[in-house]
Homo-oligomer: A and B are copies of this chain.
Amino acid sequence: MVIPSKQITDAWISLMRAQQVALRQAERALRHAGLPPYGWYDALWELEKAGEIGLRIHQIERQILIAQSNVSRLIDRLEAAGCVERKPSPDDGRGQVIFITDQGRTTRAAMWPIYAAAIQEAVGAHLTDGNATILAGLLRPIIENRETGL
């Protein structure tokens, strides 16, 4: 059995803690501004980038890396708020395509200043751009492990 080194264990703990601290700061900032949570931004941004092509549920799942059932319900909430539209997929009778609406674009745009400030405060204030690039580079293989992992 392979035991992780002290360095790896420290990195693990740092990763767990840092994300929680940073995410909570951002969620709190959004909430205090009367805006929807982080997850909405994440999904809306992917949908906005996808444009008129839209995205399938499972594509969103792979993009933002949350469980399928949670994508389904996140889209429920976004739809109820008028931020997205579900349309049946022309190619696949099981599926559907999700499109962002004007309301969705407006909501995302309204979130951005608060969200951006929170990112800056939680992460940006502590990293040079160079170090941010290094950090992202070190984390990339951990993220991509999902593909191969299971």
Count A interface residues, CB 8 Å: 57
Whether a CB of chain B sits under 8 angstroms from the CB of A139 is yes
Taking the closest CB of chain B, its distance from the CB of A27, in whole angstroms, is: 11
Whether, in the assembled complex, A126 has its beta carbon less than 8 Å from a beta carbon of chain B, the answer is yes
Interface string of A112-123 (1 = CB under 8 A from B): 010011011111
Contacts of A21 in B (CB 8 A): 65, 142-143, 145-146, 149
In the complex, the count of this chain's copies comes to 2
How many Å from the CB of A112 to the closest CB on chain B? 9
A33 within 8 A of B: no
CB closest residue in chain B, given A131: B138
The interface stretch among A9-17, A72-80, A87-95, A103-111 is A9-17
Main secondary structure of the interface of A (DSSP, over half): helix
For residue A7, CB closer than 8 A to chain B, the reply is yes
A69 interface hit (Cβ, 8 Å): no
Q: Which residues of B contact A66 (CB under 8 A)?
A: 20
Footprint of B on A, CB under 8 Å? 1-5, 7-23, 25, 28, 38, 65-66, 113, 116-117, 119-127, 129-136, 138-143, 145-146, 149-150
For the complex with contacts A11-B136, A28-B150, A125-B145, 7 further pairs of A-B residues with Cβ separation under 8 Å are A4-B123, A11-B132, A11-B139, A15-B123, A17-B65, A18-B143, A22-B145
